[in-house]
Amino acid sequence: MIGAILAGGANSRFGGEPKGLHTVGGVRIIDRVWRALLDVSSEVILISNAVEAPRWLPGTRVFGDVRDERGSLVGIHTALVQTQSNVIVVAWDMPFVTSELLRLIRDRGRGEPFAAVPQGDGGLEPFCAMYTPACLPTIEAALDTGELRMSTVLERLPSLTRITVAEMSTIGDPSRLFFNVNDAADLALAEQMSS
């Protein structure tokens, strides 16, 4: 199982600053995600088009998108193409992802041919989930038609293991586990949540 950190986006809501490099509780968000993934995967890779990405996590393999479309779906596609392996992907703006959460996703995904995706309070959380290379034809078909919404891709997969909110709640508060930092207000809230 490979862990993949999705470090994409223009970071426009942070004035162009890479959001995963901000700290929460004194630790960069990208480092928090990396540590959680390291516990449940044989290798952690970074998916990013940023020129400076190789400096973010020294020693970590970095892959730029293999397709020209923009969006998180392209990052998942890249992780699967580059590894040809089952991949747990985590967006780099999720400071409270834990090893326990990722272990649950990995374990529930065993034997699942396509994807294991947890549900948070607001629905499925496709950017903290496990995907297999069998998803590639569905993802590529969506990209070929300009469909970049993960929700649509998940609906088109032949099968999908959904990890329920009740299951998630046994290891933590889903609203905390899946909290993501999109702007300065979120970052301030994450800092409060971490103390």
φ, ψ (nearest 5 deg) of residue 39: -70, -20
State mean pLDDT over 112-133: 94
- DSSP run (H or E) holding 172: none
Q: What is the pLDDT of residues 145-190, one digit of tens each?
A: 998 899 999 999 999 999 999 999 899 999 999 999 988 899 999 9
Domain boundaries, the chain: 2-194
Top pLDDT among 13 and 63 is at 63
* Single-letter amino acid code for the residue at 27: V
Q: What is the pLDDT of residue 11?
A: 55
Which CATH class for the 2-194 domain?
A: alpha beta
Q: What is the pLDDT of residue 72?
A: 86
- Percent of the chain whose pLDDT exceeds 90: 83
Tokens of 166: 């009740």
Q: Is residue 129 over pLDDT 90?
A: yes
Cα 127 to Cα 95: distance, rounded to the nearest angstrom: 13
Q: What is the pLDDT of residues 17-62, one digit of tens each?
A: 788 999 999 999 999 999 999 999 999 999 999 999 999 999 999 9
Closest to 81 in 3D by CA, of 106, 64, 103: 64
- DSSP run (H or E) holding 161: strand 161-163
Q: Is residue 158 packed enough to be buried (19+ CB in 10 Å), middle (13-18) or exposed (0-12)?
A: exposed
**Chain-centroid distance, C-alpha 45:** 11
Q: Is residue 16 over pLDDT 80?
A: no
